[in-house]
Amino acid sequence: MLLSRLFSKTSKESASDDRSKNADLLTRAGFISKTMAGVYSYLPLGARVLWKIEKMLREEMDKIGAEVFLPSLSPTANWEKTGRLETVGILFQASGANAVSVHTNDARYILNSTHEEIITPLVQQFVKSYKDLPCAAYQIQTKFRNEPRAKSGLLRGREFRMKDLYSFHASEEDMMDYFLKKAIPAYTTFFKRIGLGDRTVIALASGGDFSKEPSREFQTKCESGEDHVFHASGSDIFYNRELTPCHAPAWGNPKEEMRPREDVVGKGIIGVEGLAKFLKIEVERTTKTILFETAKGDVVAAAVRGGYDIDEHKLRQILGTDFSLATPETVKRVTKAEVGYAGPLGLPKNVRVIWDDSTQGRRNFECGANKTDYHSINVNFGRDLPEPSEFVDIKVAREGDLDPKTGKVYEVFKTAEVGNVFTLFRKFSDAFGFTFKDKDGKEKPVYMGCYGLGTTRVMGVLAEIYNDEHGLCLPEQVAPARVHIVAIAKQKEEEAFTVAQKLYDDLTAAGVECLFDDRLEASVGSRLADADLIGVPWRVIVSPKTLEKKNIEVKRRIMKEAEMVSIKDFLKMLEI
């Protein structure tokens, strides 16, 4: 690839308003260009990186499934069947665009954000008997998600590339077996090959409401990541924050003398920080009480210590049923107060109060007074409220929280999710009535798994990790080329240029991908800066100075020092 003929160029400034490191570096290096929020064009250097990632992934996936290619457009009816047409907020629809549209009816289609709605009825067409199971199919395809906050460059897009694999099984056991022994190891191998093995952990995360098995997230340690992973010290167990079982560090003196309870006026104060300041108490002394309504119509109050949030996944597991935030009407009916002043005091008997462990061991704490504009302070268990029969874990884990098993503080790090794998059980096969005839002649439901991996996101994470102050330094297996040759000469007739050209031709013929910087009119400084920014693993300079020594100058991108070597020795270094 000749840099003079590459229409894309490096730039001093990232044209993107997205300040993430990957968007900035990949834009400045001329790998990508932002088309609009969350939508990128891949330029020649970037497309090469993306295809290398996808090729390597394809090699691993071919070992455990057959490649297919499913459409982006799908009938709305398929999404109606699974109920997701009206529940998934990031769905895009496609329809005629204008007054001259050839379709005057208002037909609309869904732009697939994921492909369960396509692959399930497709495989159902062919799989009838236990003999046809198990089977697995994957594709690498563009996905569309109408993200409200498309940000972080390639880490969260509205249009992005994803590999999605789906597996189909005759039993839950076989589904678990594939999940644990085929899908997860294939992912692990891929992340190792791509250069993210050392930094990528497998975290337990929510399996969704349909699955009793947690999903597994492949989380790469990365400062700009959106996720937090909690590591149980001394173990190989990692949790996504949402699923981290945790105890709050104890707070307060259980022997503190009980003070008289008071109801204090505090109108319209938002948040526990503001409230604590207003009441001149510690944040930890405040209590956040939220009311929920279950699917059955019961009202539940959930209480956590100030500073914590309620984790709805954990609460769902405890309640064993779906629920939603109580409506303002329900809050008023139950608390006899406006929204914002709910607390555990004097609630109707049929309202179950669930206490998080963070509220344990406190004396003289605060809570909503269930009176408009009022907060109760110096509230105490055993006097103002019955001593709770149990304290449970319904909070979103925070840094400093303890692993309940060991009592040790979790190690917490920021991560970017690069893959996730789910056991779907019968969610989709039930929706489509997908059954098979088993050996015993009976129709039985199919079990499914799905396994996602964003290839453009992987590219973004690689850029986040493999860089230094001069630019990118992607690993050799994904870099846009292996060798970057810079010819320093005034004219193409000079020996420095012809030697460089020959090296480029010879390496290319030997199957070594090269960038050849043949832009003699540009300054040497800017051309070397470009080489650093693009970050190809090996940089070669051919100049009158290097030729004097019958040598070329070779520098590895990740090393500080360059060295003069002969072309023959350089070929040895490349192992060709």
Q: Which of 19, 55, 63, 66 binds its own copies (CB under 8 A)?
A: 66
The single residue among 23, 29, 42, 61 that binds its own copies, judged by CB under 8 A, is 42
In the range 514-573, which residues lie near its own copies by CB under 8 A?
521
Q: For residue 137, state whether it binds its own copies (rule: CB under 8 A).
A: yes
CB of 126 to its own copies, least distance (A): 5
Of 90-129, binders to its own copies (CB under 8 A) are 90-103, 108-111, 118, 122-123, 125-127
Residue closer to its own copies by CB (options 166, 308) is: 166
Residues 73-92 that bind its own copies (CB under 8 A): 73-75, 85-92
Task: Quickly list H helices, 436-562.
Answer: 455-465, 495-509, 524-534, 544-548
CB 464 to its own copies: min, Å: 20
**Taking the complex as a whole, how short is the minimal distance between the CB of residue 265 and its own copies, in angstroms?**
36
Binding mask 473-512 for its own copies (x = CB under 8 A): ----------------------------------------
Q: Report the alpha-carbon angle 408-242-302, nearest 5.
A: 95
Residues 6+ away with beta carbon under 8 Å from 36: none
Contacts of its own copies in 335-354 (CB under 8 A): none
Query: What is the distance between the alpha carbons of residues 49 and 53, in angstroms, rounded to a whole number?
Result: 6
Look at residues 226, 238, 214 and name the one whose alpha carbon lies nearest to residue 420: 214
Only one of the segments 137-145, 308-316, 362-370, 426-434 lies at the binding site for its own copies (rule: CB under 8 A); that segment is 137-145
Distance of closest approach, residue 254 Cβ to its own copies, in angstroms: 45
Interface segment toward its own copies; rule CB under 8 A; list 60-68, 389-397, 399-407, 531-539: 60-68
In the complex, the smallest distance separating the C-beta of residue 454 from its own copies, rounded to whole angstroms, is 15
Between 110 and 377, whose beta carbon lies closer to its own copies?
Answer: 110
Rounded-to-integer distance, Cα 78 and Cα 108, Å:
12
Residue of 146, 211, 294, 380 interacting with its own copies (CB under 8 A): 146
Backbone angles phi, psi at 548, to 5 degrees: -50, -35
Q: Which residue lies nearer to its own copies by CB, 261 or 437?
A: 437
Single-letter code of the amino acid located at 294: T
Q: Which helix (H) or strand (E) holds 263?
A: strand 262-265
Asked if 439 is part of the footprint of its own copies (rule: CB under 8 A), the reply reads: no
Residue 55 to residues 49, 185, 453, 456, 477, Cα–Cα distance (Å): 10, 18, 13, 13, 11
Query: How far apart are CB 192 and its own copies at their closest, in Å?
Result: 24
Q: What's the min distance (Å) between Cβ of 109 and its own copies?
A: 8
3-class secondary-structure state, position 73: strand
Q: Which of 43, 486, 533, 541 binds its own copies (CB under 8 A)?
A: 43
Contacts of 194 (CB under 8 A, 6+ apart): 53, 56, 57, 458, 462, 475, 477, 478
Q: Does 264 bind its own copies (CB under 8 A)?
A: no
Q: Which pair of structure tokens corresponds to residue 281? A: 């108490």
Shortest Cβ 111–its own copies spacing (Å): 6
524/71 Cα distance (integer angstroms)? 48
Those residues whose C-beta lies under 8 Å from the C-beta of residue 250, and which sit 6 or more positions away, are 360, 361
Footprint on residues 6-25 left by its own copies (CB under 8 A):
6-9, 15
How many C-beta neighbours within 10 Å does residue 297 have? Answer: 7
Report H helices in 179-311.
184-194, 271-279
Cβ burial of 283 (10 Å; 0-12, 13-18, 19+) is middle
Pick the piece of the chain touching its own copies (CB under 8 A) from 70-78, 202-210, 241-249, 467-475. 70-78
Count CA atoms closer than 13 A to 473's CA, side-chain side.
Answer: 16
H or E stretch at 334: helix 328-335
| Minimum gap (Å) between residue 134 Cβ and its own copies | 9
Among 83, 148, 197, 254, the residue binding its own copies under the rule CB under 8 A is 148
Q: Minimum CB separation from its own copies for residue 34, in Å?
A: 10
* 36, 270, 509, 559: which one binds its own copies (CB under 8 A): 36
Closer to its own copies at the Cβ: 86 or 561? Answer: 86
- Specify which residues 73 forms β-bridges with: 111
The footprint of its own copies on residues 161-190 (CB under 8 A) is: 168
Q: Which two tokens stand for residue 303?
A: 């209480």
Q: Smaller CB distance to its own copies: residue 121 or 307? A: 121
Structure tokens of 334?
Answer: 């139950």
- Hey, which residues between 274 and 293 contact its own copies (CB under 8 A)? none
- DSSP category for residue 71: -
If one counts every other C-beta atom within 10 angstroms of the C-beta of residue 240, the result is 24
- In the bound complex, what is the minimum distance in angstroms from residue 411's beta carbon to its own copies? 33
**Cα 427 to chain centroid, rounded:** 23
Q: How far is the CB of 504 from its own copies (least distance, A)?
A: 16
- Find the part of the chain contacting its own copies (CB under 8 A) among 47-55, 184-192, 308-316, 373-381: 47-55
